[in-house]
Structure 1
Amino acid sequence: MTDFNSLSAREIAARIRSGDLKAVDVVTATLDRVQKANPKVNAIIQDCAKDALAEAEALDARVASGAPVGALAGVPVTIKVLSDQTGYASTNSCRIYSDVIATQDSPFLAHMREKDAIVIGRTNTPAFSYRWFSTNDFYGATKNPHNDALTAGGSSGGAGAAVATGMGHIGHGTDIAGSIRYPAYACGVQGLRPTPGRVPMFNPSGTDRGIGPQLMAVSGPLARRVDDLRLGLEGMAGYSTGDAWSAPVPLVGPTYRRRVALVTHPADMDTDPRIVADLERAAQMFRDAGWEVEAPEIPELREAVMIQADMWLADDHAAKMEAAQREGDAGAIALLNHYADRAAKFDTARFSELFVRRSALIRAWRAFLADYPVVLMPNCAELPFRQDQDLEGDDMIAHLWDVMLPQIAIPVLGLPAISIASDVVDGVPSGVQLVCAPWREDICLEAGELLERGFGFPGLLG
C-alpha cells in the first residue's frame, strides 16, 4: 500500500485528479494516522473525520464523472481552531468561546475548499493564541513531537505538531508575532508567513479585528516540504471582499538579484552557537549555488518589538484582560500583566507616534530589501524553549520577548518570511529564517527550497 506521507501534496492532488489514487483512501489513511499519532501529541482537538470522508467520497465521484477538480484535490489539511469552519466552534482554545459555531467558512478556507482540499481536523493553540506555548486549560497541552520537555511552539503549535507527525500534508496557521514560523522551528518543519493581504483573514462569526491584528496578523501554511507550502499558499491566497486588506497581487514577481544578507546576531543578540552554525551552513549553500552572500548592517529591528507590543497587546488592553480573566488562563493573564504598565500609558498621541515610526522602519527595510532580496537570520536567539517557560515569572517573559526579536519584528514591517528546518540534535530541532520584500513569497519559497535540499527534508515522526 502507498505511504501517502511519502508523496508531496502536489503529487497526491495530481494522482487523485488522474484517478490513480482515491481521495477516500488518502483521507482514510490520514485519519488512521491521527488515531495513532494524535494521542501522543494532542495536536488535533476538533475531529472532522465524518465530514472529511463524506467530502472525499463526493470528490471521487466527481473525478469518476469526468468533472474538473481543483489543485488541492483530496489533499488532507488541518485548520487552526481560531478560524471559522462551517459547523465547528471557533474557540481559539477558550471555553468562553465554545458556543461560537461558524455558519460559513473563513475566506481562506473557502478558497482551499474551492480547490478541493479536505479538512481532517482542527488544531490546538494557547488560549487566545497569545503565547509561543500551545497549552491551555480547555484542550490541554500540545506536545513537541521530538521532545516532551520542549514547547511545540505557538500559537500554531497544533499545526506544527500535526504536520510533523503526518496528520495532514498542510497545516493552516496564523502569525502576528511568530505563530507560524516559531512552531515550524520548534517542531522541525517548514512554515511560511505571507505578506499581509495575501491570504484573506476574516471570521464571519466574530467582529472586525483591532488595528494591530489587521496590520500584522496573517494566515499561512506549515508543512514538511517547501513545495507543500507553495501549494498551500496557492490554495489559501486570493482576493476576498471579507478582508479589508485583501489585495489581488500575483504570486510570482519579476526576476531578482541572487543576493543574500547574512545576519547572525540581529540587534546584537547573543545567538546560540548551534544556530549561528546553521546560518553559516545555509550561507555556504547559497554561495555554492552561485548566490552572492554578504554581511551588511541591517536596518533597525529592536524598536519594532515595542511597536508590536503596543499595537497588539496595549490596544484595548482592558477588554483583553477581562476575557483572559473570564477564561482563567494563567499564560494569557501573565502576558497581559507584563504589558499592563505600557497599556496604562497608551493614548492617542502614542498611537499616532507608533504609525509614524512604523512607516519609517518599513521604508528603511523596503529600501534594504531592494538591494538584498533575501535576509538570512535566526528564528530566535535560542533553541526551542522549555514547555511553559513563560510561566516562570515576569523576568522570564521579558527574556523571551527579547530573544524572540526576529519573530516579533517582522510582522511590524509587513514582510513575508519562511522558517526552514535544519536538523534535530538530541531531540532538539533548529533552523533558520529567510525574510523577503512584500509580496515576494516566491523568493522565500525558492530560497527555502535551496536550503531544504541542503539541510534535507524533515523526517516523519510518530
Structure 2
Amino acid sequence: MIMRRTWRSALRHDTACHPQTEGLCLMELWQYDATDLARLIRTGQASAREAVDSVLKRLHAVNPTVNAVVRVLEPEARAAAETADAARARGHALPPLHGVPVTTKVNVDQAGLPTDNGVVALKDFIAKEDSPVVANLKHAGAIIVGRTNAPAFSMRIFTDNALHGCTYNPRDRTVTPGGSSGGAGAATATGIGAIAHGNDIGGSVRIPAYCNGVVGLRTGFARIPSLNPSAPTGRPIGAILMATQGPHTRSVRDARLALEVMARGDRRDWRWNDVPMQGPPPARPIKVAIVPEVPGGPTHPAQAAAVRLAGKHLQAAGYVVEEILPPDMERGVELWHMICVTDVFGGLWPQMQKMGDPDAIAAMQAWLQVQKAVDLQGYVAALTEREGLMLRWMTFFHQWPLVILPTLCDLPPKQRADVTVEGQRDVLQSMRSALLAPLLGLPGLAVPVGSHEKLRTGVQIMSMRNREDLCLDAGEVIEAAEGVVKPIDPEH
C-alpha cells in the first residue's frame, strides 16, 4: 500500500523518534503511542482510516483471548476516520488526537450507547449525551473504537461480570487484569488503542496499569470534569470526593497528552478545577519520600524492591530520595473504608442485591464482613478526620513533594480471589497502598518498574493536588531507565 510505505519510510529518517519507535521501521500503526501516531496523521504520513483499520485488525486478532473490549464500534470508528481524513484534506486545524484510536469504559455515558456498567439489568440503559470525558476525547479528535469491560457496578479489582464475561490478564491468564478498569488496562497492553479511558475511586486506574504492565494516571480531585448525565440524582459524598477519571497509556508522554485533553472544562461539573497543567517549580533538588514497606501489613519483596529501584532511578537523575513515612497511613486506610463502605451499604448494596450479579454480590458480602459500615455520627467524624489528615499530608508535601509507594502491596491476585471472606481480606490488605490517593483527592501515576516472573512489578508516584506534572516528570525519569512499554501478545 503506497501510503503505508510512505509513513514507514518517513519514520525511518526521523531522528526525533520516541524510544518506543526508534529504529523500528516496520511497525504497524497499532504499535505506536498516541503522540507519534497523531504526528504521523497530522503530517500526512498515515491516514486516520489506516490507523483505525490497523487497530481494528489488532482488536480482532487479540480481543477474543483477553475480552478487553466488550462493544466494538467498528462502523462508527470507520465513519469517524473518513470524516477526520476529509477535514485534514480541506486544511482544517487539527486537534491534538486527530485520528488516534482510543477506548472508553462501559461505566461512562457515551451518546447512543448503553452505560451498562457490566450489569445485565442495565444492558439497554442508553445514554442520551456524552459524559465530559468522552466529549473531551471526541473534541480532541480521538476516534473511539470500542468500550472496555468492568466488573459489575465497577466495584472490584477483578474484571468479570454476568453481562460481558471475564477479562483476562494478557501477561498471565490466571491472575486479575485489575479493576475496575481492567478492560482498559488489558486493551492498552495488547495494542487495542493508544489511550484507554478509566476511572479510579480505590485504585481502578492504577491497579489495572500495574497488573497489565502499562502506565495509568489517576488524576487529582476535580482535575477532569466527571459526571454521567444519565444519573441526575448524583452520587454519595465519598464518590464526589474520591472518584476521578484518568488514562491508561504505554508511554508517560501519552499520559501527559491524555490528561491535557481530558481535563478540558465542562460547566456541568461544579467541581472542575481551572488550573494550569504546570505548577510552580518546587525547591531543588526535589525530595522524594519512598515507602517500600507499607504500614499495616506485609509488602511483597518484589514490590518493595520496585519502590527502591524507582528511588535509585530518580536519585541518579538528581532527586534526593529518603525512606520516610507520610503521616498516619494506616489511619488513612481505615478512613477510606469507613467512608466508602458506609456509602456502599446505604446506596449501591441494595441495588446490587436487586439487580444481581453472583460474583459481585459474593465479593461485596465478603467486603462488608471484613469492613463494617458506621453510623451517621461515625461517618461525619470520618469525613472530619479526613480533613485533618489532608492538612498533615499537604504540610508533608511541602518538604517531600513526591511520595512513591507500591501500586499494590502484593502481586496481582488470582482470578475471583475476592468472593470469599478470606480471599477478600487478603485483597483489601494488598490494596491499602492504593487507597490513600483517593481518600485525600491526590493524583497518582502508576508506572512499571522491574518484573517478577511473567508480570511487571510497579509503583505509584503521588504528589499534592493539581501537581500531576510532578508525577509525570518523575515518571518520565523512571521510564527512561526502565524502557518505554511496548504492546504484547496475550498469553493463551
TM-score range, shorter chain: over 0.9
CA distance in 2, matches of 1:198, 1:345: 29
Alignment of 1:363-374 (within 5 A): 363-374=391-402
Q: Does 1:29 align with 2:54?
A: yes
TM-score scaled by length of structure 2: 0.91
TM-score scaled by length of structure 1: 0.96
Alignment of 1:68-217 (within 5 A): 68-207=93-232, 208-217=234-243
Counterpart of 1:314, as a letter, is T
> Corresponding residue for 1:250?
276
CA distance in 2, matches of 1:244, 1:158: 29
Report the alpha carbon displacement of residue 344 of structure 1 after superposing the two structures with TM.
7.4
Report the alpha carbon displacement of residue 301 of structure 1 after superposing the two structures with TM.
1.6
Counterpart of 1:329, as a letter, is D
Quick check: 1:384–1:429 contact (8 Å CA) kept in 2? no
Give the aligned CA root-mean-square deviation in angstroms: 1.6
Q: Does 1:434 align with 2:451?
A: no
> Corresponding residue for 1:48?
73
SS in 2 for 1:45: strand
Quick check: 1:188–1:424 contact (8 Å CA) kept in 2? no
Q: Does 1:305 align with 2:326?
A: no
> Corresponding residue for 1:400?
427
Summarize deviations over 1:29-82 as a string: whole Å, max 9, x none. 000100001001000001111111111100100100011120111111100000
| Deviating more after overlay: 382-391 vs 264-273 | 264-273
For structure 1, the 5+ residue unaligned runs are: none
Summarize deviations over 1:261-320 as a string: whole Å, max 9, x none. 111112153211111221221111111111111122321122222322232232252542
Summarize deviations over 1:198-247 as a string: whole Å, max 9, x none. 11111111231111111100010001111111111111002212212111
CA distance in 2, matches of 1:312, 1:152: 23
Counterpart of 1:405, as a letter, is R
SS in 1 for 2:459: strand
| Deviating more after overlay: 87-96 vs 300-309 | 300-309
User: Aligned pairs, how many?
Assistant: 461
CA distance in 1, matches of 2:325, 2:219: 25
SS in 2 for 1:315: helix
| Deviating more after overlay: 29-38 vs 428-437 | 428-437
Identify the match of residue 283 of structure 1 among 300, 303, 311. Answer: 311
> Corresponding residue for 2:18?
none
CA distance in 1, matches of 2:325, 2:87: 55
For structure 2, the 5+ residue unaligned runs are: 9-27
Counterpart of 2:187, as a letter, is A
> Corresponding residue for 1:11?
36
CA distance in 2, matches of 1:460, 1:342: 38
Quick check: 1:200–1:240 contact (8 Å CA) kept in 2? yes
* Percentage of identical aligned residues: 36
Q: Does 1:231 align with 2:257?
A: yes
Quick check: 2:30–2:58 contact (8 Å CA) kept in 1? no
Counterpart of 1:308, as a letter, is W
